[in-house]
Chain A
Amino acid sequence: MAYAYLFKYIIIGDTGVGKSCLLLQFTDKRFQPVHDLTIGVEFGARMITIDGKQIKLQIWDTAGQESFRSITRSYYRGAAGALLVYDITRRDTFNHLTTWLEDARQHSNSNMVIMLIGNKSDLESRREVKKEEGEAFAREHGLIFMETSAKTASNVEEAFINTAKEIYEKIQEGVFDINNEANGIKIGPQHAATNSTLSGGQGGQQAGGGCC
């Protein structure tokens, strides 16, 4: 499983907004209605293709409760992308976005791409936050925005992939220094064609393996 690039993501946002469910839907294509809550940090990975290039996403799913912030903050460093998630059926989770954003900006590298996600779009009847409000917040703070449903899988692929596209474009523009791992990007071993076949065979045996 050779890749051209590896991007490190973090998923942040209030507790219960569906961070782990988004990750599970993206990596395993399934929805678990009753999910154990995340303590500390969990981890997932998936390969995607952008511009004909294999890109490995290494995704860190963090606990949302306030107490855990002092621990999860250490993961902001070295992330190329962040999914900042709120729940469209809980106004509180939207109101806390500013705090999350400040936290993320303060502890991450300045080029980190942030995707704002209004999750649970399937629960239209319980909606408390209008789509326009999400869009406005994103515009104001220079974020990309999408509403998703981890339950129906609506926009989940797009959210993860569009974030990667944005990072990829930044690489092309030379904004990211890809030789500095603190930016959350690694160049894969694909350039040496013979080597990649060999290492691919080994890395493929284990989930989350590969040379990263």
Chain B
Amino acid sequence: MEKANGARTPQQPQHRINVPSTAKERVSSVDPYGFERSNDFDYESYEELMSEYLTVLTKRSIKWSKLLQGKSRLEKNFKVKRYVRKGIPNEHRALIWMEASGSQEQMEKNPGYYHSLLQLQHDPKLVETIRTDLHRTFPDNVQFRKTAEPCLQKPLYNVLLAYGHHNKAVGYCQGMNFIAGYLLIITKDEEKSFWLMEALLSRILPDYYTPAMLGLKTDQEVLGELVKVKVPAVWQVMNEHNVMWTLVVSRWFICLFIDVLPVETVLRIWDCLFYEGSKILFRVALTLIRHNQALISQSRNLPDICDRFKQITRGAFVEDCHPFLQKIFKEPGSLSMATITKLRAACRARIVAEES
């Protein structure tokens, strides 16, 4: 990272030993994934946090290398699940996501399928909708700039277009651009990104992106029901001010926490998402809400609630991804898949009845 910073000041004489004196000078203004750090980025705390997290990363990296040694397939078992929850090192991330989600298997079963989708006659409406959003996807990421070499806008376009043809019921829905973008950043591979997208949309998430967005509406309500039981103070304030859950959490679900939580934290959540499924989204949401229940329940009005729901997605609690990931398995308490399934069925039925 320091190298990148040095490269930006070529005027500096090469021979002089330049010891950066502040965290801002030591840490690159662009993160390892290409995102520019915001103006109010706290370099001091970040450096402090990273010095601890690097130890964790190194330890995990050694353990993972050992686990994967001589294996071509990933076995799903309790040990691997524990490993995933503790974080997949970035060098293995694409591989583990592919294996755990069944995407690898799908890709091998359907050789050439992705590229054949790109050869199809393209639906002009689909093309236009995707194009409108290309320059609006991660304008703060240097890899997505038109001037970047290579520029990720073209691969992004391809993945979205191929997916739109593959799944006509969904086509293209905003939010998918961010997801495909993250997948490209991590896998650096269009075809793998496509198959991971397919795993997310067809197996891992209930129908979030179909035109009726029934799965999304359902999960927002399910979260409401869970909050009612687990964090009644927050449920009460939401009820008192007549705030619909969709107003404060739609972005959480649609973008799977992209641009809501810090990048590293999102990736750690996605590790579990690909391995364990969509329940993890509720764990994250409940942890954020429960941890900040005092703050939220003091809201005085609707705009105030909206502000506070944004506020709780920032700061040390979420930046420090390792302890945060440990918290999501403790803070919300027990959360069985049976409960989620039952709530989903009930909420879905309610929404369908209301809409008809």
Interface residues of A (CB under 8 A from B): 15-16, 34-37, 39-41, 43, 45, 58, 63, 65-68, 70-71, 74, 206-212
Cα distance A196–B301 in the bound complex, in angstroms: 17
- Given B135, B174, B304, which contacts A209 in the complex, CB threshold below 8 Å? B304
* A contact residues around B209 at 8 Å (CB): 67
Cα distance A87–B173 in the bound complex, in angstroms: 20
Cα distance A36–B213 in the bound complex, in angstroms: 21
Q: List 12 A-B contacts (CB under 8 A).
A: A15-B132, A34-B136, A35-B139, A37-B177, A65-B174, A70-B212, A70-B217, A71-B216, A71-B246, A207-B307, A208-B306, A210-B301
Closest A residue by C-beta to B145? A34
Give the Cβ gap from B222 to chain A, nearest Cβ, in Å. Answer: 16
Cα distance A45–B304 in the bound complex, in angstroms: 12
* B contact residues around A15 at 8 Å (CB): 129, 132-133, 174
- Contacts of B27-85 to chain A: CB distance below 8 A: none
Residue contact B254 to A40, C-beta cutoff 8 Å: yes
Residue contact A67 to B250, C-beta cutoff 8 Å: no
Q: A36-B136, A36-B259, A71-B250 are in contact. Are A206 and B174 (CB under 8 A)?
A: no
Give the Cβ gap from A79 to chain B, nearest Cβ, in Å. Answer: 13
- Given B174, B213, B300, B301, which contacts A37 in the complex, CB threshold below 8 Å? B174
Residue contact A41 to B133, C-beta cutoff 8 Å: no
Residue contact B250 to A40, C-beta cutoff 8 Å: yes
Interface residues of B (CB under 8 A from A): 129, 132-133, 135-137, 139, 173-175, 177, 209-213, 216-217, 244, 246-247, 250-251, 254-255, 259, 300-304, 306-307
Give the Cβ gap from B69 to chain A, nearest Cβ, in Å. Answer: 41
Residue contact A71 to B301, C-beta cutoff 8 Å: no
* A contact residues around B246 at 8 Å (CB): 40-41, 71, 74
Residue contact A70 to B304, C-beta cutoff 8 Å: no
* A contact residues around B173 at 8 Å (CB): 65, 67
Q: Which 6 pairs show the lowest CB-CB distances between chains A and B?
A: A40-B250, A34-B139, A208-B303, A37-B136, A16-B132, A67-B173
- Given B132, B136, B247, which contacts A40 in the complex, CB threshold below 8 Å? B247
Closest A residue by C-beta to B244? A74
Give the Cβ gap from A41 to chain B, nearest Cβ, in Å. Answer: 6
Residue contact A45 to B254, C-beta cutoff 8 Å: no
- Given A16, A43, A70, A74, which contacts B213 in the complex, CB threshold below 8 Å? A70
Cα distance A177–B301 in the bound complex, in angstroms: 22
Cα distance A68–B246 in the bound complex, in angstroms: 11
* A contact residues around B255 at 8 Å (CB): 39
Closest B residue by C-beta to A17? B132
Residue contact B174 to A68, C-beta cutoff 8 Å: yes
Give the Cβ gap from B265 to chain A, nearest Cβ, in Å. Answer: 18
Number of A-B contacts defined by CB within 8 Å:
79
Closest A residue by C-beta to B208? A67
* B contact residues around A66 at 8 Å (CB): 211
Residue contact B211 to A67, C-beta cutoff 8 Å: yes
Cα distance A207–B132 in the bound complex, in angstroms: 31
Give the Cβ gap from B320 to chain A, nearest Cβ, in Å. Answer: 25
Residue contact B174 to A39, C-beta cutoff 8 Å: yes
Cα distance A208–B306 in the bound complex, in angstroms: 9
Residue contact A208 to B129, C-beta cutoff 8 Å: no
- Given B212, B259, B304, which contacts A208 in the complex, CB threshold below 8 Å? B304
Closest B residue by C-beta to A32? B139
Residue contact A35 to B136, C-beta cutoff 8 Å: yes
Give the Cβ gap from B178 to chain A, nearest Cβ, in Å. Answer: 8
Give the Cβ gap from B182 to chain A, nearest Cβ, in Å. Answer: 14
Most chain B C-beta atoms within 10 Å of own C-beta, residue among A67, A71, A74: A67
- Given A65, A209, A210, A211, which contacts B129 in the complex, CB threshold below 8 Å? A65
Cα distance A208–B304 in the bound complex, in angstroms: 7
Residue contact A212 to B301, C-beta cutoff 8 Å: yes
Q: Given A40-B247, A212-B302, list of 20 further CB < 8 A pairs? A: A16-B132, A34-B139, A36-B139, A36-B259, A37-B174, A40-B246, A40-B251, A40-B254, A41-B246, A43-B306, A45-B303, A63-B174, A66-B211, A67-B213, A71-B217, A208-B303, A208-B306, A211-B300, A211-B301, A212-B303
Residue contact B300 to A209, C-beta cutoff 8 Å: yes
Cα distance A130–B101 in the bound complex, in angstroms: 51
Residue contact A39 to B139, C-beta cutoff 8 Å: no
Closest A residue by C-beta to B131? A16
Q: A67-B173, A67-B174, A67-B209 are in contact. Are A39 and B250 (CB under 8 A)?
A: yes
Residue contact A71 to B132, C-beta cutoff 8 Å: no
Cα distance A171–B274 in the bound complex, in angstroms: 54
* B contact residues around A63 at 8 Å (CB): 174
Cα distance A133–B195 in the bound complex, in angstroms: 46
* A contact residues around B133 at 8 Å (CB): 15-16, 37
- Given B136, B244, B307, which contacts A206 in the complex, CB threshold below 8 Å? B307
* A contact residues around B216 at 8 Å (CB): 71
* B contact residues around A206 at 8 Å (CB): 304, 307
Give the Cβ gap from B73 to chain A, nearest Cβ, in Å. Answer: 36
Most chain A C-beta atoms within 10 Å of own C-beta, residue among B137, B177, B209, B250: B250
Q: A15-B174, A65-B173 are in contact. Are A39 and B301 (CB under 8 A)?
A: no
* A contact residues around B217 at 8 Å (CB): 70-71
